[in-house]
Amino acid sequence: MNVIAVSGSPRKNWNTEKMLASALDGAQSLGAKTKLIRLYELNFKGCKSCLACKRIGAQRKCFVKDDLSSVLEELSNADAIIFGSPIYFMELTGVMHSCLERFYFPYVTYSTERQTFFGRKLPIGFIYTMNVTQDWIRQMPIANRFAEVTKELFGVEPEIVCAYDTWQYLDYEKFEHGIFSVEQKKLHREEIFPKELDTAKQLGISLVQRVKQFNDQ
């Protein structure tokens, strides 16, 4: 079983990738083979609206050729996927948005007869990491339209896990930080972030369990 994590963070091994690594750990603990793909290492753009994927009789895939092409192929063959992104302006990062446009759009139908061109159930998880606190996010939830259409396209409600109040700088004293309480951030990093890492691990476990359930059906 192959579980792929896609990182939409520009920072290697920071908050988002730590959460993704923990999710992959969880998946591995149930025997899955795992892989991390870093979008910031690839040269690609979002959907070009060539609409080749909507041609009658065409294969349902993205026809654009660039660094993302082979990634999209891997994602369409994966047993489960975890998309991880820092939150920028209360949304996914630009690269993650571009990747998801290219991955999701070929499976969107303009047909009245079917809801999706993806032919099986594919469990998908989303991990978001952000500066704001959980209380704050209750008032202004993260906008992710891709999560909203995931069940329609891939047959399974997505699982979403978050890390809040993240540690953003190596040394807060050297950067602007007036609106943050560094003490609170430190406390969060030491006491809460390990628990958030554990929720990411549980996400990896849960996705693999779902795949096993579907395979047994």
Provide the phi-psi class of 159: left if phi over 0, else alpha when psi is between -120 and 50, else beta: beta
Q: How far is the CB of 135 from ligand FMN (least distance, A)?
A: 12
Is the CB of 87 or the CB of 203 nearer to ligand FMN?
Answer: 87
If one asks whether residue 130 binds ligand FMN (CB under 6 A), the answer comes out as yes
- Per-residue contact flags (x/-) with ligand FMN for residues 79 to 98, judged by CB under 6 A: -------xxxxx--------
| Residues contacting residue 33 through CB under 8 Å, at least 6 positions apart | 1, 2, 3
* Member of 22, 34, 98, 129 binding ligand FMN (CB under 6 A): 129
CB atoms within 10 A of CB 179: 6
Is the CB of 130 or the CB of 197 nearer to ligand FMN?
Answer: 130
CA distances from 109 to 50, 100, 128, 147 (A): 15, 16, 28, 17
Stretch touching ligand FMN by CB under 6 A, among 59-67, 68-76, 127-135, 180-188? 127-135
| C-alpha–C-alpha distance, residues 123 and 158, integer Å | 7
Q: Which residues bind ligand FMN (CB under 6 A)?
A: 9, 11, 14-16, 86-90, 129-132, 166, 168
